[in-house]
Structure 1
Amino acid sequence: MKLEIGNFYVKDVIFGEKTAYANGTLTINKEEALAVVREDEHITEADIIITKPGDKVRIVPVKEAIEPRHRVGGGPVFPGVTGDLMQSGDGQTLALKNCSVLVVGKHWGGFQDGLIDMSGEGAKYTLFSQLQNICLVADTDEDFEKREQQKKNRALRWAGMRLAEYIGSCVAELQPEEVETYELAPITKRSEEVQALPSVALVLQPQSQMEEMGYNDLVYGWDCNHMVPTFMHPNEVLDGAMISGSFMPCSSKWSTYDFQNYPMIKRLYQEHGKTINFLGVIMSNLNVALEQKERAAQFVAQMAKSLGADAAVVAEEGYGNPDADFIACIVALENAGVKTIGLTNECTGRDGASQPLVTLDEKANAIVSCGNVSELIELPPMETVIGELQALARDGLSGGWSDDEILGSSVREDGSIIMENNAMFCGDRVAGWSTKTMVEY
């Protein structure tokens, strides 16, 4: 499979008469864009607000992020989700870089939603403060889940994907400024030189714990809770096969933007044929019952061994209960003779003194930490709030609270906030990029 991603580098986003891209400026016809959003009758209120790095803006509750794209030759950007099923990862896709469509709740937030500051102290905690963000701020008539801690956010998430496709279509007839090419020969057809290098598989564990449908990550529109570990071409992940779900403490979340740009996949591609033989992606899942976790780990280990993997990188979307899947997978791979590195964040408590993962094993001796979800963050008021700041305290966001006997409410009367890192939108970037650095004292 050969995937070409043609990039257009966005330097500015403005509203105008026609949705178009020229000389680094993305222009959006706001009314046309909102018409695409309102195709779903469940959308009751909607607005689009542009935010830029350095703006004195706080955005909350953020539900999803998507890179605007267009599939050359026709077909949906997200097969099986925004259109018919088709193979992704082969052909050409056009991408508007340095920008994202952010899906933001106008009122109601929940456990899986987060916060982004576009400037100030808070901006350092998430990559999205560095992007030109097209904020879809909307509400729906999905009253059954408005006051629920867990929200499927279906109408809002799908509206964000439609909007990203609409914006991406403006470059359909243009020549990209740069083309990234991703190609791997079939495993059994590679040159002797490549075959002689250490073989590495990437094991991804997307969020799939909810047994009720509608919350989990999707693969070609299929709920990952119904999936057993599956071998996938890395191009499929980069090209719209994977969609973020709506169940995950937010700093640990893999947004759809993360899947589209998955840094660890790109890094392994960079080393392919030089220092490693990149075999591909084993897409696993996260389960609830212990037997399910053990079964998935066995599948992963068998698959890696059968593919001839000498080493593996395992990344989990989340922490807590998923730690059991994460560690079981690493142990099973090590037992199969596959040297394994893990990527995860930690939950070590506000003082940093607690056990970092729910379960541990001596064989999990090469773990890359992406941060502590429980770290306390205090931020001053921001001039403008997009969405509703009170959602951070009122609606059970994973890092916010309505009251604490010592700290009070996450949202103070002057608009300043105190929260756990948990609520920083995709702040820990377990996908392989991070604004953080670990220092040993």
Structure 2
Amino acid sequence: MRLEMGNFYVKDVVFGAATSFQDGVLTIHKDEALSVVLQDDHITEVDLVIAKPGDPIRITPVKEAIEPRCKVSGGVMFPGVLNKLMPAGSGRTHALKGSCVLAVGKRWGGFQDGLIDMSGPGAKQTIFSQLINICLVADTDEEFERYEQQKKNKALRWAGMRLAEYIGNCVKNMEPEELEIFELPSLDQRSEKVRNLPGVVYVMQLQSQMLENGYNALVYGWDSNHMLPTYMHPNELLDGAVISGSFMPCSSKISTYQHVNNATIKRLLSEHGKTLNFLGVIVSNLNVQLEEKTRSALFVRQLATALGAQGAIVCEEGYGNPDADFIAVFNALEEAGIKTVGITNECTGRDGRSQSLVDLSEKADAIVSTGNVSQLLKLPPMEIVIGDLESLARDGNSGGWEGSVKEDGSIEMENNGMFCSDANTGEYYKTVVDY
């Protein structure tokens, strides 16, 4: 399977008479873009606001992040979600690098929503402060969940995908500045030299704890709560087969932007044939009941063993209850003789003295930490707020509480509520250091 990724590097974003890209400047026809958003009657108010790195801007509640892209050949964008169900991971896709569409609530947030600072100390917490963000700031008539702590946010999330595809289409017929090739032959077509290298599999544990449809990560549009661990080609993930869900404390969540830019997958592809034999991806899930956790761990082990894996990297989306799934898979793989490394964040308490994971095992002796959800942050006021700052304290944001927002606009919060800040897929440099 061969995927060509044509990259266009965005240096600035402005509003103008037509949506286009030239000399590093992305121009957006605002009214036309808003008409794409308003195709959903549930959206009642909407605006587009541009936030650039270094701007004195605070954005909250952020619900989703999507890279502007278009499919040139070999498939569709967001298969099984926005467009018809068909395979992802081949042909050519064009991407506007350095830019991002953020779906932001105009008034209402929730447990799973996050905050981004574009400057100041808060900007160090998340990769999204380094991107030029096209903020889709909207409200909806989804009254059934307005006062719910956990929201599906469907209208805004789907609007973000439509907007990202609309913007991406402006480079559909252009020649990219850079062409990346992602190609991984089927197992039976690999040379003896490659087969003699250590076989490594990547296990992606998607958030899927909610029993009701609409909250969990989607695989080709299918709710991951209803799936068993599944083997996938890495190109499928890089080409949009997996869509972020709307459940999970926000620092631990993996946005759609991060799924298609998964740095761990890209590094494994780059090392294939050199230091390792990349066998592919096992997409797993994170469940609630013990039997479900055990079943998923069993299937991950069976798939990894059948593929001939000697090593595995396990990425966990979340913390707390999902730690039991994480450790169960760790144990299952190690017991099968597969050397395993985990990537996850920690919940050590504000003083750093609590057990970092809910479940532990002596077999889990190689873990990359990407941050501490309990880290206490005190952030100064910002000149501009996009969205609704009060939502941090009012609407159950996992990192906020009553009193988080001070009279002068400064805030006190936990890293828990910073948007996708712990980046378990490997795009960012945060970690926990033992002194």
- With normalisation by structure 2, the TM-score equals 0.99
Partner of 2:34: 34
Residue 407 of structure 2 corresponds to: 413
* Contact map agreement 2:372 2:432 (CA 8 A) in 1: no
- The alpha carbon displacement at 1:436 in A equals 1.8
What residue in structure 1 maps to residue 300 of structure 2? 300
Task: Say if 2:104 and 2:137, in contact at 8 Å, map to a contact too.
Answer: yes
- Measure, in 2, the Cα distance between the counterparts of 1:189 and 1:129: 42
Show the counterpart of 1:425: 419
Partner Cα distance (1:98, 1:435) in 2: 17
3-state SS of the aligned residue for 1:349? coil
Instruction: Decide whether the 8 Å contact of 1:346 with 1:372 is kept in 2.
Output: yes
Q: Does 1:102 align with 2:102?
A: yes
Deviations 1:327-349 (A, max 9, x none): 00000000011000000000011
Residue identity in the other structure for 2:252: S
Q: Which residue of 1 aligns with 2:25?
A: 25
Q: Secondary structure at the match of 2:207?
A: coil
Measured after TM superposition, the shift of residue 438 of structure 1 is 4.2
User: Do 1:330 and 1:340's aligned partners in 2 also have CA atoms closer than 8 Å?
Assistant: yes
* 1:48-127 matches, cutoff 5 A: 48-73=48-73, 75-127=75-127
Residue aligned with 2:94, SS: strand
Alignment map for 1:109-188 (pairs within 5 Å): 109-188=109-188
Give the equivalent residue in structure 2 for 1:405: none
Please give the alpha-carbon distance, in whole angstroms, between the structure 2 residues aligned to 1:30 and 1:74: 29
Q: Is contact 1:124–1:435 with CA below 8 Å preserved after alignment?
A: no
Task: Show the counterpart of 1:435.
Answer: 429
Matched positions, count = 435
What SS does the aligned partner of 1:8 have? strand
Deviations 1:74-96 (A, max 9, x none): 75310001110111001100000
Work out whether residues 220 and 241 of structure 2, in 8 Å CA contact, stay in contact via their aligned partners in 1.
yes
Residue 101 of structure 1 contacts residue 136 of structure 1 at CA under 8 Å; is this kept in 2?
yes
Q: Distance in 2 between matches of 1:255 and 1:185?
A: 28
8 Å contact from structure 2 (residues 199, 278) kept in 1: yes
Deviations 1:208-237 (A, max 9, x none): 110000000000000001110000000000
- Equivalent AA in structure 2 for residue 131 of structure 1: L
Partner of 1:337: 337
Listed as ranges, the gaps of 5+ residues in structure 2 are none
Query: How far, CA to CA, are the matches of 1:440 and 1:66 in structure 2?
Result: 34
**Contact 2:4 / 2:181 at 8 angstroms: preserved in 1?**
yes
SS in 1 for 2:32: helix
Shift of 1:433: 2.3
Distance (whole Å) between structure 2 residues aligned to residue 74 and residue 272 of structure 1 = 24
Between the aligned partners of 1:46 and 1:75, the Cα distance in structure 2 is 30
Distance 1:414 1:437 in 2: 31
1:196 match: 196
CA distance in 1, matches of 2:17, 2:248: 38
The one-letter amino acid paired with 2:429 is T
Q: CA deviation at 1:437?
A: 4.4
- Using the TM superposition, give the Cα deviation of residue 440 of structure 1 relative to its aligned residue in structure 2, in angstroms: 3.8
Q: CA deviation at 1:188?
A: 1.8
Aligned-CA RMSD value: 0.8
Q: Is the 8 A contact 1:75 1:84 kept in 2?
A: no
Q: Which runs of 4+ in 1 moved over 2 A?
A: 73-76, 437-441
**What residue identity is the alignment partner of 2:361?**
D
SS at match of 1:324: helix
Match of 2:6 in 1: 6
1:406 is aligned to none
Indicate conservation of the 8 Å contact 1:75/1:83, yes or no. no
User: How far apart in 2 are the matches of 1:146 and 1:76?
Assistant: 32
CA distance in 2, matches of 1:399, 1:51: 22
Deviations 1:189-216 (A, max 9, x none): 2001100100000000011110000000
Show the counterpart of 2:372: 372
2:250 is matched with 250
Contact 2:250 2:418 (8 Å CA) reproduced: yes
Question: In the alignment, which residue of structure 1 is the partner of 2:219?
Answer: 219
**1: CA distance between counterparts of 2:409 and 2:424?**
30
| Alpha-carbon distance between aligned partners in 1 of 2:95 and 2:427, rounded to the nearest angstrom | 19
8 A contact 2:381–2:408 mirrored in 1: yes
Tell me what 1:310 maps to.
Answer: 310
Confirm or deny: 8 A CA contact 1:53 1:129 kept in the other structure: yes
Give yes or no for contact 1:125–1:435 (8 Å, CA) kept in 2: no
Distance (Å, rounded) in 2 between the aligned partners of 1:324 and 1:440: 23
Contact 2:59–2:117, Cα closer than 8 Å, also in 1: yes
| 1:277 maps to 2:271 | no
Q: What residue ranges of structure 1 are gaps of 5+ in the alignment?
A: 403-408
TM-score with structure 1 setting the length:
0.98
Amino acid at match of 1:434: Y
Q: Given residue 53 of structure 1, which amino acid in structure 2 is its aligned partner?
A: P
In the alignment, what sits opposite 1:238? 238
How far apart in 2 are the matches of 1:81 and 1:213? Answer: 13
Return the alpha-carbon distance in structure 2 between the equivalents of residues 191 and 76 of structure 1.
32
Query: Separation in 2 of the partners of 1:437 and 1:318?
Result: 15
